[in-house]
Structure 1
């Protein structure tokens, strides 16, 4: 692992940086070892949309894609490029307002026989997630460092502490948690993400469809009376 710290990612708080836009509008950044951008988009069932010369163009294309929808978007634009890291080449995929790196079906497939790491924000709300997959398995994920799940939720505790992410209690007010998560991602991938890297990359783009909503089969009505007694009734869809 590299010796990167949260201080190395202080640039994300600059008002002129990409992350100023990303944190306001939502983003997901996904890194996968040994998988090409084309292979990543195949797994995500994305429709190819050509290339973008740099981050500014990707953001403009993202804004244009949103204007194509009258209501809720049925897809989102993602950009990906190859970058060197630990153990070989990695694909860095970036989407703005999407959820590519948070979908279990995609991440399990991408990480089969390799490693995939993602971090994200839903934009404007205090929900920021981290996911580490290894060999198709979700190893560690968290929104708050103190509330981790996955098959090995404590495997990163030592390095998290080094970065100021407290896995057992309150967070240090002097630590930029988002910067620390980017540093944690670099510890796992060997990929140093800089503003210059994101700004100058040539992005292969794809339009990723929204996940189809699961068809609901019924509802459960749970009622608690004044004495604390509870009654639950399940109503099937065909009964409504």
Structure 2
């Protein structure tokens, strides 16, 4: 395969389509060995016919937003899927202007059984850019910043990350001496290496999408909160709290807030009776 780098995806910075994706929030997912209909069915998506190009996908999603009276608390959305040739055969490309929600993790694990799933997303607004690589039912590598990776094999992609232009040392740490890179373009280049699919503006604009209305995902029970931030200099802040710790702290704050307020003051000393009577 020819060398692929972030420079091959410079088009995203002049593309009205990609600007819409970045502002709205999007998820682009590539699934090997599954048809568009199989993928939409696994997502529990209600069939909504077909749409011609991204214009048809956006029109269908806008119509759905109108149906729910533009309730932005409603996280359902219209996804579009089509087949594209890539490494080892046909892949399904799924695009959704979903605010970066992505396909539910359990669903992706199932879709990647015996194959591969690669996804990247942006949540719009104050963007969080995520990348996920699933292989045979397991999350192999995921990251927001390339120097802070997670998954079952977080370091396996380090050589490829460096190849597409991410400023990393051979050990996968942030390399301050390396030139910076357009990280979104580099992520698209990484996805191409893993799938064999070069995503272009024309590929997305000219495809016929099978459409499906993806329902809201039920809220997952949470067991804790993790803050994991790496700054531009590679300095990492990692803090973790369990549900029990947070609940206990909340109970203490609530108890303090509901405690009765006692206000005290010093009464003036009673005047001596004789002083009161004589006025002295």
Same fold (TM over 0.5): yes
Partner Cα distance (1:47, 1:99) in 2: 20
Give the 3-state SS of the residue equivalent to 1:220 in structure 2. Answer: helix
Partner Cα distance (2:220, 2:156) in 1: 33
Question: Partner residue of 1:226?
Answer: none
Cα–Cα, structure 1 residues 38 and 98, in superposed 2: closer, same or farther, change >3 Å?
farther
**Correspondence 1:59 to 2:58:** yes
Q: Deviations over 1:29-57 (max 9, x none)?
A: 00001100000011111100000011112
Once the two structures are TM-superposed, the CA of residue 173 in structure 1 deviates from its matched residue by 5.8
Q: Is there any run of 5+ residues in structure 2 with no aligned partner, and where?
A: 223-242, 256-280
Tell me the C-alpha RMSD between the 2 structures.
2.4
Question: Partner residue of 2:143?
Answer: 142
- Kept in 1: contact 2:9–2:186 (CA 8 A): yes
Question: Partner residue of 2:6?
Answer: 6
- Kept in 1: contact 2:25–2:100 (CA 8 A): no
Question: Partner residue of 1:168?
Answer: 173
TM-score by length of 1: 0.87
Once the two structures are TM-superposed, the CA of residue 210 in structure 1 deviates from its matched residue by 1.1
Q: Is there any run of 5+ residues in structure 1 with no aligned partner, and where?
A: 224-230, 236-240
- Kept in 2: contact 1:130–1:142 (CA 8 A): yes
Higher strand share: 1
The correspondence of residues 1-240 of structure 1 with structure 2, limited to 5 A, is: 1-14=1-14, 16-70=15-69, 71=71, 72-99=73-100, 101-165=102-166, 166=168, 167-169=172-174, 174-214=180-220, 220-222=247-249
Cα–Cα, structure 1 residues 143 and 74, in superposed 2: closer, same or farther, change >3 Å?
closer
